[in-house]
């Protein structure tokens, strides 16, 4: 039995395919289209999943769509009516996309060649299913927190085997996710793209704006919250902060790419502190109502790794599960699993233990691409040689693009499409930000650490949540280790670590091991294989193009090693290259 899950039209469109209850492939459309956070109907991702399953769309048993488009449209119309005439310009701008795309989901699915049953699930139910049905727990409390689905912005649920019961909701316009996005916009960053930048900026400031944030959002004894809507414009305007919010802080919205001052850092710190306060309040109440010690989380706010790292110490929950694509991309997986397990009443067959669910390329496919384009390369004799040579290069302070195996599921590079470098070099953060990633100087880089060594280097939860495998937990670096790994120790002494286990990606694990033999440190810098504003690379062509446009020194791509300076840029024209 094959079930296809789809999410589309807002940001991070994705597809997932489930065979007999097990996820066999999942990917975001952006990786194929090369449009970051692509919101289009995910035709490329659908085709990838079908190819991975070895079937056509006609052979699917069911399709699951992650939300109810007509219900969402109803909420939007109510929103416009409630705020008319202020909402007139936004209404005129948004309606065409609804009539030409968002209400045509059945047609788009039929155009794939599928004529069978389509299940439309509520947005937050898809989130809840994506968190629980691939978790290792038979019973768990479930919290979903994001911007907005149809009406809900936050839900409390319980999961019991194949059943999910949603028992409490907070509705639009009151949204913790939209609070975070509004301040993201106020700080001059892009909404639905740069919230993680604000999280990275927060440790540079102090949470001195508590009184101001108490006016923006207030909590109640039952765990609910509400926003002071006079400070927000997103119900009736294209922008999110209102003039009253600017007056509250005494500064206008920061212009994009303008200077970041201490004021902006302090606002970011205050936002993060308030977010954690509200989130922990929600979780305290969720535990009080369920008395369950297992917690599953999903929604965009569940990607806030700084908050996640504190949940087990700040709340009564004992165990936590967050899947790597906790945001909207993950809802395609949740929708497909919910149809198989909860609607069709099939027993659970799947626990998500690895994020490597995307496309892979064979040694021959990589070599054919390099040969077609006359790219100079060295061919490794074995995988062990790849690990040793990459570790040696990193130890000698070279920056290595790492392209090995199936692409990651979710927004983080986890050792399939990564850039690896030396965490012991205090200059490496600046080198990567300036010459490779072309991004803001304040942003930290993540450490990948061997599972067996993590407690020696980080003050982390015990037992360690699997979410740490997906770069979803921030923990303090042990004080005596901070000077040893300065390039991955953030200004507040923390690191957003990725733990690697041998059974997940043996070659990646072996490479970090080889680096440990040379340096004494079981850690490397792992950052996503892309430059600012572009999706993570997917194909050999994407990887080579990214290296040639940056300061990456080498590319370890399957069994080949490409040295950038051996392939002069003046002989390279990406538009004329064979891409497959």
- The predicted pLDDT at position 190 comes to 93
- Pair (288, 420) in one structural domain: no
Which pLDDT tens digits describe the chain residue by residue (580 residues)?
999 999 999 889 999 999 999 999 999 999 999 999 999 999 999 999 999 999 999 999 999 999 999 999 999 999 999 999 999 999 999 999 898 889 999 999 999 999 999 999 999 999 999 999 999 999 999 999 999 999 999 999 999 999 999 999 999 999 999 999 999 999 999 999 899 999 999 999 999 999 999 999 999 999 999 999 999 999 999 899 999 999 999 999 999 989 999 999 999 999 999 999 999 999 999 999 999 999 999 999 999 999 999 999 999 999 999 999 999 999 999 999 999 999 999 999 999 999 999 999 999 999 999 999 999 999 999 999 999 999 999 999 999 999 999 999 999 999 999 999 999 999 999 899 887 887 888 888 999 999 999 999 999 999 999 999 999 999 999 999 999 999 999 999 999 999 999 999 999 999 999 999 999 999 999 999 998 889 999 999 999 999 998 999 999 999 999 999 999 775 556 666 666 5
Question: 154 in a domain, yes or no?
Answer: no
Pull the structure tokens for residue 122: 């509520």
Backbone phi and psi for residue 399, each to the nearest 5 degrees, phi listed first: -100, 125
- Regarding whether 541 and 509 lie in a shared domain, the answer is yes
CA separation for the pair 169, 154 (Å, rounded) = 6
The answer on 475 and 410 residing in a single domain is yes
The DSSP code for 110 is: H
For the CA atoms of 99, 105, 110, 116, the dihedral, rounded to the nearest 10 degrees, stands at: -140
CATH number at 495 reads 3.90.870.20
Whether residues 454 and 336 fall in one domain = no
Half-sphere exposure of 261 (CA within 13 A, CB side): 7
Tell me, yes or no, whether 111 and 229 share the same domain: no
Q: Examine the domain organization and report whether 313 and 192 are in the same domain.
A: yes
Q: What is the pLDDT of residue 573?
A: 61
Both tokens assigned to 404: 């090995």
- Domain total in the chain: 3
pLDDT for 179: 98
For residue 444, what is the DSSP state? -
**Looking at the domain assignment, is residue 144 inside a domain?**
no
Which of 343, 377, 404 is the C-terminal boundary of a domain?
Answer: 343
Instruction: Tell me the CATH number at 221.
Output: 3.30.420.40
Per the CB < 8 A criterion, the answer to whether 187 and 249 are in contact is no
C-alpha distances out from residue 541 to 47, 372, 558, 572, 574, Å: 19, 11, 13, 12, 8
| pLDDT number for residue 572 | 57
Is residue 213 located within the same domain as residue 227? yes
- Is the residue at 58 inside a domain? yes
Q: How high is the pLDDT of residue 440?
A: 83
Q: In this structure, are 280 and 335 located in the same domain?
A: no
Q: Is residue 166 part of a domain?
A: no
Domain boundary among 321, 354, 387: 321
Domain that holds residue 332: 2-134+323-343
283 plus 225 within the same structural domain: yes
pLDDT at 224: 95
Which tokens in the block code for residue 316? Answer: 């009564």
Rounded Cα distance, 285 and 533, in Å:
38
Q: Is residue 140 part of a domain?
A: no
* Euclidean distance between CA atoms 50 and 27, whole angstroms: 12
The H-assigned helical ranges of 66-122 are: 69-82, 88-97, 105-111
Three-class secondary structure of residue 177 per DSSP: helix
Let me know whether 314 and 327 are in one domain. Answer: no
Contact in structure between 559 and 366 (CB atoms under 8 Å): yes
Q: Is residue 513 part of a domain?
A: yes
Statement to judge: residues 119 and 254 lie in one domain: no
Measured CA to CA, the distance from residue 496 to residue 413 in angstroms comes to: 12
Residue 164 is assigned to a structural domain of this protein: no
DSSP character at residue 407: P
Which DSSP letter does residue 567 get? Answer: S
Per-residue exposure over 63-102, b if at least 16 CB sit within 10 Å of its own CB, e if not: bbbbbbbeebbebbeebbeebeeebeebbeeeeeebeebb
Instruction: Give the CA count within 13 Å in the CB-facing half-sphere of 155.
Output: 28
417: phi then psi, degrees, rounded to nearest 5: -130, 70
Are 97 and 66 members of one domain?
yes
In a domain, 76, yes or no: yes
């Amino acid at each position: 039995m094959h079930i296809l899950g789809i999410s589309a039209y807002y940001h991070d469109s994705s597809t997932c395919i489930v065979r007999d209850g097990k996820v066999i492939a999942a990917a975001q459309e952006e990786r194929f289209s090369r449009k970051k956070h692509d919101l289009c109907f995910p035709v490329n991702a659908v085709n990838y999943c079908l190819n991975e399953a070895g079937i056509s769309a006609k052979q699917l048993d069911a399709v699951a769509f992650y939300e109810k488009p007509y219900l969402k449209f109803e909420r939007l119309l109510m929103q416009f009516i409630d705020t008319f005439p202020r909402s007139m310009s936004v209404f005129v701008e948004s309606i065409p996309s609804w009539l030409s795309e968002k209400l045509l989901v059945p047609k788009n699915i039929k155009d794939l060649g599928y004529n069978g049953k389509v299940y439309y699930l509520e947005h937050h139910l898809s989130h809840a299913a994506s968190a629980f049905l691939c978790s290792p727990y038979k019973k768990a409390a479930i919290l979903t927190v994001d911007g907005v689905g149809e009406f809900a912005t936050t839900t409390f649920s319980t999961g019991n085997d194949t059943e999910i019961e949603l028992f409490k909701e907070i509705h639009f316009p009151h949204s913790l996710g939209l609070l975070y996005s509004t301040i993201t916009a106020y700080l001059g960053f892009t909404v639905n793209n740069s919230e993680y930048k604000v999280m990275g900026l927060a440790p540079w400031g102090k949470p001195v704006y508590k009184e101001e944030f108490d006016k923006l959002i207030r909590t109640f004894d039952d765990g609910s919250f509400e926003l002071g809507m006079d400070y927000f414009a997103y119900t009736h305007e294209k922008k999110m902060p209102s003039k009253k919010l600017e007056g509250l802080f005494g500064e206008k919205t920061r212009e994009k790419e303008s200077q970041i001052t201490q004021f902006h850092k302090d606002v970011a710190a205050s936002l993060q502190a308030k977010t954690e306060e509200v989130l922990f309040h929600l979780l305290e109440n969720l535990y009080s109502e369920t008395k369950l010690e297992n917690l599953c989380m999903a929604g965009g706010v569940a990607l806030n790794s700084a908050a996640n790292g504190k949940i087990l110490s700040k709340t009564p929950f004992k165990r936590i599960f967050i899947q790597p694509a906790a945001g909207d991309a993950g809802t395609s997986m949740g929708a497909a699993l919910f149809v198989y397990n909860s609607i069709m009443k099939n027993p659970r067959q799947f626990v998500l233990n690895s994020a490597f669910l995307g496309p892979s390329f064979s040694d021959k496919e990589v070599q054919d691409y390099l040969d077609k384009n006359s790219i100079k390369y060295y061919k490794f004799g074995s995988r062990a040689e790849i690990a040793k040579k990459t570790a040696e290069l990193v130890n000698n302070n070279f920056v290595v693009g790492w392209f090995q195996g199936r692409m990651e599921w979710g927004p983080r590079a986890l050792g399939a499409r990564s850039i690896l470098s030396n965490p012991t070099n205090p200059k490496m953060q600046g080198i990567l930000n300036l010459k490779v990633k072309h991004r803001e100087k304040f942003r930290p880089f993540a450490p990948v650490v061997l599972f067996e060594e993590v407690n020696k280097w980080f003050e982390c939860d015990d037992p360690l949540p699997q979410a740490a495998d997906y770069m979803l937990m921030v923990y303090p670096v042990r004080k005596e280790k901070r000077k040893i790994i300065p390039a991955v120790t953030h200004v507040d002494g923390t690191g957003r670590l990725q733990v690697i286990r041998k059974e997940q990606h043996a070659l990646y694990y072996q490479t970090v091991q080889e680096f440990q033999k040379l340096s004494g440190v079981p850690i490397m810098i792992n950052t996503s294989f892309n430059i600012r504003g572009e999706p993570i690379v997917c194909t050999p062509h994407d990887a080579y193009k990214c290296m040639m446009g940056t300061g990456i020194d080498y590319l370890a791509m399957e069994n080949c090693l490409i040295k950038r300076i051996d392939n002069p840029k003046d002989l390279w024209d990406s538009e004329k290259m064979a891409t497959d």
